[in-house]
Amino acid sequence: MIDLSRPELAVNGGACVRGKPWADNFTLGSEERDAVLRVLDSGYLSKFEGSHTPDPPFSFYGGPEVQELESDWARFYTSPFCISMNSATSCLFASIGALEIGYGDEVIVSPFTMSACAIAPLLYGAIPVFADVEEETGCLDPVSVEKKISNRTKAILVVHQFGIPAKMDQLCELAKKYDLRIIEDCAQAHGAKIGDQFVGTFGDIGVFSLNVNKTIQSGEGGICITGSEEIAYRLALIRNHGEAVVGPAGYKNIVNILGFNFRLTEIQAAIGREQLKKVDILNERRLELLDMLIGRVNHLRPDLLRILPGRSGCTSTYYLCPMIFDETKSGVARHEFIAAMVAEGINLSGGYVKPLYFQPIYQEKTLFKNGYPFSAPENSESNCAYLSGLCPIAEKLHFHELITSEHIRFPHTGGDIADIIKAFEKVIG
């Protein structure tokens, strides 16, 4: 049991453990500054054109920094093809389009992730079907996934949650068994591996984020990798006004090729190239800081609070530090425990993402006019009952058990982690 009435706790007026502020996710240095100046000196902030340009300088594919970023990324992840975009959200949208998914189809998704994962199918008229997650990882549970597969299922959108790899061996077996496509959302999992293989290379398309909060970043940005030349071309068409390109290009399979402007700028690409060089160093820092936390917190009162250990045989890269808190055994509500830690100067958050099916778009089954695509005749047989209790593990994690910390990242040090440990020891008692 935890006694939060003790007078020495900061929440009750005692001295706090930490008074200084926490550093933001600053990963930039002189290398990125030099890269930006290189672009500015060139005079070209973008060289994209939304037209068929088969001859040099190939402006349908962007400028030199964009193309070099894609080459660097493909080489790092040992992937044959890479297409950059202006966000991972754009990458997810384009991935659904590139795989020819649409009305009458279903895509199995996690409810415990960013909203774009479920919106991506809806954009093309397909229905997202939510499968539950594993309590020990927050990743899709293959057992739950198989139960949600129907004759309309066309793909599984897998999220490597918190940088912990999902069970890709089992999910790939399901994809093979039921003839499904796989999209891997690796936004939080830069450099994560299963054995010696990078996440993002198991499915048909791997998606990475360069958002400002991610391990490596260019402010905004996203990357798709794929082993298919055809998929890569379709991704490029959707990125860059494909409807105006397919005619001159003589490309016949125009299904879903509504081209957007999902293009990355030369400055973002130049920064992304330098950030990619740092991914191993930044991941090493995260794992060093995490190991310090695990070494003390998981032995403090593991019956009350423990850090999720990741998966055996995998390299987890921990975008966030996920912890399980037991309200029943501790005798206090999770929000009360978090408030006590925040008073000590340690920023923690309860839950992660409220399961997506609680959002109005799913409760009211309306995205476009007249309830489309939910009300479309092609989707009349889809199982889209988005009721409370649909994914009990995701709901339990969000509403009762999960606590996260973002402090396990550069430029924080062992001294910062020592403050977190000291606060845990003080509050838990």
Supply the pTM of this predicted model. Answer: 0.96
pLDDT digits (tens, 9 = 90+) for 14-54: 999 999 999 999 999 999 999 999 999 999 999 999 998 76
Specify if 228 maps to a domain: yes
The total domain count for the chain is: 2
- Are 220 and 227 in contact by the 8 Å Cβ rule? The answer is no
Name the pLDDT band for 3 (thresholds 50, 70, 90): very high
pLDDT digits (tens, 9 = 90+) for 317-346: 999 999 999 999 999 999 999 999 999 999
- Are 301 and 316 in contact by the 8 Å Cβ rule? The answer is no
Closest CA to 133 of 148, 154, 152: 148
Are 95 and 176 contained in the same domain? Answer: yes
Select from 278, 297, 330 the last residue of a domain. 278
Q: What is the pLDDT of residue 56?
A: 67
Give the residue numbers spanning the domain of 48: 31-278
Query: What's the whole-number mean pLDDT along residues 186-205?
Result: 98
Tokens of 225: 């990798």
Are 219 and 317 contained in the same domain? Answer: no
CATH number at residue 57: 3.40.640.10
Q: Across the strands, what pairs with 225?
A: 82, 206
Scan for tokens 């929440």, then name that residue: 11
Closest CA to 239 of 50, 23, 417: 50
pLDDT digits (tens, 9 = 90+) for 276-287: 999 999 999 999
- For 46, 97, 146, 152, 385, the CA distances from 183, given in Å and listed in that order, are 28, 12, 16, 17, 23
- Are 235 and 83 in contact by the 8 Å Cβ rule? The answer is yes
Q: What is the pLDDT of residue 384?
A: 83
User: For all residues of the chain together, what is the average pLDDT?
Assistant: 96
Select from 260, 278, 296 the last residue of a domain. 278
Closest CA to 304 of 333, 273, 281: 333
CATH number at residue 303: 3.90.1150.10
pLDDT digits (tens, 9 = 90+) for 45-104: 999 999 987 676 669 999 999 999 999 999 999 999 999 999 999 999 999 999 999 999
Name the pLDDT band for 159 (thresholds 50, 70, 90): very high
Query: What's the whole-number mean pLDDT along residues 349-360?
Result: 97
What are residue 22's phi and psi, to 5 degrees?
-90, 145
Are 187 and 297 contained in the same domain? Answer: no
Specify if 382 maps to a domain: no
| CB-side neighbour CA atoms (13 Å) of 3 | 5
Specify if 56 maps to a domain: yes
Tokens of 203: 């499915």
Specify if 66 maps to a domain: yes
pLDDT digits (tens, 9 = 90+) for 170-195: 999 999 999 999 999 999 999 999 99
Are 206 and 295 contained in the same domain? Answer: no
- Are 159 and 251 in contact by the 8 Å Cβ rule? The answer is no
Are 58 and 88 contained in the same domain? Answer: yes
- Are 394 and 355 in contact by the 8 Å Cβ rule? The answer is yes
Specify if 359 maps to a domain: no
Q: What is the pLDDT of residue 54?
A: 67
Specify if 5 maps to a domain: no
Are 185 and 288 contained in the same domain? Answer: no
